[in-house]
Structure formats: structure tokens, C-alpha cells
Structure 1
Amino acid sequence: MKKPSSPSSATSRDRRKFMINTAKTAGGLALLGIKPAFATHHDAHANKQHTVQDIMDLIFKEGGLSPIKDTVDTLKSGKASQPVTGIVTTMFATIPVIEEAVKRKANFIIAHEPTFYNHRDDTGMVPDNGVVKQKQELLDKHKIVVWRFHDYCHALRPDAVSYGVAKKAKWLSYFKTGENMLTIPPVSLQALVKHLKSSLGIAHLRVIGNPEQTCERVALLPGAWGGTRQISTAETQKPDVLIVGEVSEWETAEYIRDGRSLGRKTALIVLGHAQSEEPGMEWFVDWLQPKIRDVKVSHIASGNPFTWM
């Protein structure tokens, strides 16, 4: 016959049962992405070792992002299971960016553009590419994970790149999520160029237009939208100025030049691809860091690859 439990042993069992049920409840809530009411903010972050996958999952959850079919946003080096010692955002994971990340003890690079010189990072595009091999060896040596954050970056609301550029250009009061047209206070094209050079930190801009013309309706298309979308925007929206990251010189540039010869007023400002989207990856640090306080997130600008001679 089983011996009756004493009051003290019953209390002990009840306490253990409560702790087990509490742990189960907390774990279940965590799996559902719900923070238990009894958990403090400190408890949720203290001494947590995040993996690359954890960080990507966090970005998806906090950004309200849904899977994109056939996305180019994949890991270009390293493994998703690797613990993260630090995070760096950038436009291009260049050799100097990788070396600086190593100095900062950051082993996870979130890059907006390709690492291996083509849209899908096909390392076999040019067989036996010596530069590709050396770059892979450098990444492997320092156990650096590179994740391209392009499609999902633009899927954020607001689009991280457009928002970042508008913020750095001090145009947030004119910016509307999901729109590429901004109405700014009237300014001459020459003054607008000066403002963009100063606010975005760009030494030289390429321009088609009359320096004295007035610019108020601005089409802001940072990055490489392609000739079709750039020309379509100019044709349908009729902005005073089209501001882009880069152009195919035989497409958008020639359209703008001919249009002006035929009496159209739309001017063109070419910022440069990296410089036009870098502010978005810089702002992404501000977006991500508050959501993961126990891992340092910083930005390293990949910069302009060109010099003027």
C-alpha cells in the first residue's frame, strides 16, 4: 500500500509540477512567437547565442515578409547554423568590407547586391575565375557568412532603400510609402545637384538638363530600375527631374536627351548605383539593431568603385 504523502512532500511536488507546466507554456508561446507575460525584456535577450538563421527569421517576422519565389536572397557563403558574433550591412561585400568586418569581429555580412559579379551569384559564369576563388577562400578563412538582402529589402514597408535615401536627403516629409514621386519645395536643378552631393556624400553627379530650370516634382528611383521602368516613369509621371542610381546610356539617357530636344522638360540626375542605395543599407542598421540588442549591428559603406581623372 502506498504511503500517504506528507504536506511538505505534496507541496514540493506541486511546486515542481507548476515549474514544469510553466516551462512548457513558455516554450509553446515562444514557438508561436508570443512573449510570455512573466518574461522581462532582459530575460528574452540575456546571453542568447543567435545563429544566422535566427537573425534571418527575426528579419522576416519583424518585417512582415512573405517568401518570394525564386529569390536571389540566398546565402553566398557560410551556413545558416553558424553562431553570429556581429552583423555588418553593406551594398557590396567587397574585399575591403570583408576585411573591415573581420576587424570588427563580425562574421555575418548582409549585402544588398551580388557578391560574385552577376545577379544570381553564379560562380561558374566564367570558368576557373581566379578572383572568385580568392574571394571564396577569404570568406572561408574567416568563416564569414554573406546573405544577399535585395528582394526582401525592397519588400519591406517602407522600402528600406527608398526610405533610407529620402531620410538622408532630408525629404521624409515629402516621402510616401509605396510611391516614387515626391513633391519638394521648388529649387533649381543646379541647387538640387548641390544638395544631393552634400546630403548623400557624393563627389560627382552626371546630369542632363538646364542648371537653371526649376525642379519640384521628383521621381526618385535609386538603384538599377532598368530603362523600361525609368522611361515609363518619365513618360507617365512627367517629373521635373528623374533621379536614378544608374542607367544604360543607350536607353534612358538618350530618351531624356531626345525628349529635351523635342521640348520636354524632364532632367536626369545619375547618382551612381552604390551611392544611391547605400543609405538604405545604412538605415537598415537603425531598423534591425533595436530588435536584437545583444548582437552589434553596424554599417560599412562599400563606396564608389570609380575615380575621376
Structure 2
Amino acid sequence: MNITVQDVIDQLPAAGRLESTVDRLATGTGQAAVRGIAVSFIASYEAIREAASLGANLFISHEGVFYRHQEGGKGAGGHSRVQQVKERFIESAGMTIYRYHDHPHMASPDLITRGLLRALDWERHEHKYVGAAAVVTLPEARRGCDIAFHVKSRLHLPYLRAAGSLESACQTIGIAVGYRGGGEIAIPLYEKEHVDLLLAGEGPEWETPEYVRDAAAQGCGRSFLLLGHAASEAPGMKLLSEMIEERFPGIPVHFINTPTPLQIM
């Protein structure tokens, strides 16, 4: 019995009916028979080529395929040669791409946040989910710089960006994946949840980093670590790939890591 793309979509963790969502088939059809599945943070050109070489014809991507969050129509690069080459390869490879963004974030708990907690080996510690974030209480306080080293090591990251007082003791840690590092989410975590350190994917540089800088200047030991959007959310998609593998044991499932394209010069 053939498993179709729609069969796989129907088994993905869902958060009920959402009034507005970017989760959709970006290419292909739900009726295609699935030969193999690739799961990744983003369907980059290189990642799609790797998926095709592995024999996958369904690609589940957390972020958009064509360079912007809302991708109705042709996306941000619709008339660019770059997008056209990418579209032609997707078509020639017979690749169906499904965007899976809102449902995992709206699930209870947030699947993407849970994946990062697991990757950091922090699910075993006391933790709770607070709105769009999570708060972890470590068994004992550690310096912010030591936590930064732990994060880099567990996630195999070449660098982190940091602000605040990294020599201060940190025991209550906030987790805000993706683009949740702005002041609207971050500052209440410091003020109401009393986090000592916040890990975030990314956010406006003039919001939370400046709040943390002022806090440090006032003698408040608060720290802030920016992982990068991909680094913070890829572990959640890896968790998803393992869930899909359990539900469809007869279909090859591949997690494709797509590190950030940004480099430190």
C-alpha cells in the first residue's frame, strides 16, 4: 500500500485548526506516493539536492523555500534567476516540499522548543513552558560563560553572540527559539520569570541586548546568548524526523542539517 504525501502530513503533530498559517504545500501534490522523506530547518538548494540524492521525494521544511515568511505566489525572489534555477531543480527532481512552521510552534508543548531542550540535555531538569518560551532551572548555578560553552559543545556551533554579565551565576535559564529574542518576549522573562540568562535564536539588536547591557551596568547579573535562527530550531526538526520515522517505519527518513549561511570574518 502506497503512503501518500497527504498521509504523512495528516500524521504530523498538529495544533488544531489555525485561523492563519504558512503551513502548506510549497511544491508538488499531496497525492504523490512517498519514496523517502527529508526533514530540515530550511529547504536550501543544497539541502534539496542532498535529499534528491538520498532518494527522498518529500521534503518537510520549517522555514520558507523562497526567501520570505509569507510565501503566497512566487515569494520574494520570484523573478530572480536564483529562484528560477531552484524551481527547475525541484521540478526535475519530482520533489514535493511541505512547509511545517506554525503547527509545531503552536503544539503543546512547542515541538521546536522541546527539540532544543532535548539537544541541550535539559529536559531532565525542572522546566516549564511560558507562552512562546521555556524556562529551565538547573540543579546548580553556573557561570554564563560556562553555559555558553555547554551550548556550543552540544549544538556543535562555531560561535555564539553574547551580551551582559557572563561571569555571573546563572541557574534559571530562558529558551526562546527562532525570532523570539526581541524585547516583547525577552524582557518579561527576565522581569517576571526571573531568568538569569536567556538563550534565543535571533531578534532586534537594539532591544534585548541593550536591556541586558543596561542591567549589567546597574549591577544586575543578567546574560543573553544568541544562537542564530537555524541553530535554535534545527534540533526541533531533528526531533520531528525521529517522530516521522517511528510512524512510518517502512519509509526512509533523513534529517538534513542546514547550518547558518553566515560566517564571522
Structure 1 counterpart of 2:7: 54
Cα-to-partner distance string for 1:124-158 (whole Å, 9 max, x where unaligned):
54562222222111111111111111111113333
- In structure 1, which of residues 147, 151, 159 is the aligned counterpart of residue 102 of structure 2? 151
Shift of 1:226: 5.0
State the match for 1:32 in structure 2: none
Consecutive aligned runs of 4 or more in structure 1 exceeding 6 Å deviation: none
SS at match of 1:288: helix
Residue 43 (structure 2) pairs with residue 87 (structure 1): no
2:225 to 254, 269, 287: 269
Give percent identity, aligned residues only.
30
Q: With structure 2 as the length reference, what TM-score do the two structures score?
A: 0.92
Q: 1:215 aligns with which of 155, 170, 182?
A: 170
Residue 57 of structure 2 aligns with an amino acid whose one-letter code is: N
User: 2 CA distance for matches of 1:177 and 1:49?
Assistant: 40
User: Structure 1: where are the runs of 5+ without partners?
Assistant: 1-47
Contact kept, 8 Å, 1:285 with 1:299, in 2: the verdict is: yes
Alignment partner of 1:188 is 2:136: no
Alpha-carbon distance, 1:209 to partner = 2.4
Q: Name the amino acid aligned to 2:123.
A: L
CA distance in structure 2 between the partners assigned to 1:260 and 1:121 by the alignment: 40
Aligned to 2:113: 162
The answer (yes or no) to whether the contact 2:25–2:96 under 8 Å persists in 1 is yes
Across the aligned residues of Structure 1 and Structure 2, the Cα RMSD in angstroms comes to 1.6
CA displacement, residues 2-28 of structure 1 (integer Å, 9 cap, x when unaligned): xxxxxxxxxxxxxxxxxxxxxxxxxxx
Provide Cα deviations, 1:167-212, integer angstroms capped at 9, x if missing partner. 1111111254634111012111111111101011111011112332
Higher helix share: 1
Alpha carbons 1:112, 1:149 under 8 Å: kept = yes
Q: Bigger radius of gyration, 1 or 2?
A: 1
Tell me what 2:213 maps to.
257
What is the DSSP-based 3-state SS (H/G/I as helix, E as strand, rest coil) of the residue aligned with 1:237? coil
Q: How many residues align?
A: 259
Equivalent of 1:137 in 88, 103, 108: 88
Query: Which residue of the other structure, out of 18, 28, 34, is the alignment partner of 1:68?
Result: 18
Q: Which amino acid aligns with 2:27?
A: S
Q: Deviations over 1:230-286 (max 9, x none)?
A: 233223223110110012112221222122223332210011110111111011122
Query: Are the equivalent residues in 2 in contact too, given 1:166–1:175 (CA < 8 A)?
Result: no
Task: Normalising by structure 1, report the TM-score.
Answer: 0.79
Give the distance between the partners of 1:50 and 1:127, measured in 2 at CA: 32
Q: 2:197 aligns with which of 241, 244, 253?
A: 241
Secondary structure of the residue that 2:246 maps to in structure 1?
helix
Which structure shows the higher strand fraction? Answer: 2
**Judging changes above 3 Å, is the alpha-carbon distance between structure 1 residues 275 and 206 closer, same or farther for their aligned structure 2 residues?**
same
Q: Deviations over 1:60-109 (max 9, x none)?
A: xxx35412122000111111111111111100100110010011100111
- Inter-partner Cα distance in structure 2 for 1:258 and 1:171: 29
* Distance change (3 Å), C-alpha of 1:248 and 1:202: same
Given the alignment of the two structures, is residue 114 of structure 1 paired with residue 70 of structure 2, yes or no? no
Three-state SS of the structure 2 residue aligned to 1:106 is: coil
CA contact (8 A) 2:66 2:75 kept: no
Counterpart of 2:248 in structure 1 is 292
CA distance in 2, matches of 1:150, 1:212: 36
2:41–2:230 Cα contact (<8 Å) kept: yes
**C-alpha distance in 2, partners of 1:175/1:87?**
34
